[in-house]
Amino acid sequence: MTSDSRSANAALTLSPTVSPTESSTAQPELSAGRVRVGVIGAGAMGAGIAQVAATAGHEVVIADAQPDAIARARLAHAAAMARDVEKGRRQRDDADAVLARITYIDGVDAAHLAPIADCGFVIEAIIEQLAAKQALFRTVDAMVAPDAILASNTSSLSIAAMAGACTHSARVVGVHFFNPAPVMPLVEIIAGLATAAHVADRAEALMRAWGKTTVRATDTPGFLVNRVARPFYGESLCLYEEGSASVATIDWALTSLGGFRMGPFTLMDLIGNDINFAVSRSVFESTFYDPRYRPSVTQQRHVEAGWLGRKSGRGYYHYADAQQGYDARMANQDAVLGQRIVDRVVAMLVNEAAAALDYGLGSPADIDLAMTKGVNYPLGLLAWGDSIGPDAIVRRIDALHAEYGDPRYRAARTLRRVVREGGRLVHG
């Protein structure tokens, strides 16, 4: 057994004598066998998580209600292993062993999910609808051993609400990967109100054994990354809707001048406008309609029209024939306009990161780590705010509020305190 195998093995092997409801001081014994992993949902995210687990040496069961999704996942796994072999990252025998560890299941009713029953760690990555996730967890909760961990890959929904659907609510935890799961290093660990401390600890240890960087997030709408990132999309959509710039100009400004790896409209097309809009609406509704998170009618219309992005062939850009998405030549590359776009979007992002401090959503270090590792921002937002100057950020936001009269433009308490005290956001 390799050292990686031993660490992954020790990370999540639960004793059959320990209940998830026991205190966090309980120390479950370690058994000789590696935990079996169940993944329910074989879309891009679920398939990616299954690949990560199988690559780490686990036996994996992946299930989906749609046979086509299972077929695509199987092909994606084979293609990923073939690329690894071609690039010299893996021997052919090793690649074949990874694929052999994955079992594919067509169907998510109790009968089809029978092979999940002996999994010690089950993670769902199904449609982002609370009722669907609760129904699935009720089924799985009744099937698996009492000491198995149930995890949700939700990007914004309540972990407490999912746990509430289960008899063993203390074993439910949020384990949020970022797409593509085999590539993106960050995983958010979210404990709900009922989650036992040792369950969150063991889930986090398992993710670290899989080579992931973890941050702890609170069970609030959008958790950490998706909440703090909302202005990247929302403010860019506001700029477009008010006629300040085209989508291509905004993408050009934020990549060429702002240093972001991908512009917001290109990224929304990649994520899928249906998914991105659903997260925005979920955060907005779950924060009781805080105007900072107000969704965009433009994005709603794109979803209604079926312009979902790359997967549908049309989004903010075309992805058919010779037209393949964003091209910088589409943009108005005016430096003054571009810098105005960057200044506004970055100010709102820094403000949202500071608001996360207001509400205790994470430490300064975790917030900046989450945004650089989870969404590849060029700098941690709090450190970025310090480099610009917290006073400059406050002036920009106050100017926007004066111009628009919209309460979405309100400076975070932490920002105002740092300016008042002459401190810093990161060390302030």
Strand ranges, E, within 111-263: 121-124, 149-152, 172-177, 186-191, 213-218
Catalytic, out of 9, 153, 226, 273: 226
Active site residue 273: no
Pairing of strands 60-64, 37-40: parallel
Catalytic, out of 9, 153, 155, 296: 155
Report the C-alpha gap between 217 and 186 in whole angstroms: 12
Catalytic, out of 168, 176, 198, 302: 176
Active site residue 155: yes
Does the N-terminal peptide bond of residue 180 adopt cis geometry, omega within 30 degrees of 0?
Answer: yes
Active site residue 226: yes
Q: Which two tokens stand for residue 116?
A: 């999940």
Spell out a b/e string for 283-317, using b for 16 or more CB atoms within 10 Å of the CB, else e.
bbebeeeeebbbbbeebeebbeeebbbbbbebbbb
Catalytic, out of 124, 152, 169, 188: 188
Pairing of strands 102-106, 172-177: unpaired
Q: Which residues are within 8 A (CB) of 161 and not within 5 positions of it... i.e. 6 or more apart?
A: 130, 134
Distance of CA 330 to the CA centre of its chain: 30
Give the Cβ contact number of residue 37 at 10 Å: 28
Active site residue 128: no
Q: Catalytic amino acids? A: 155, 176, 188, 226
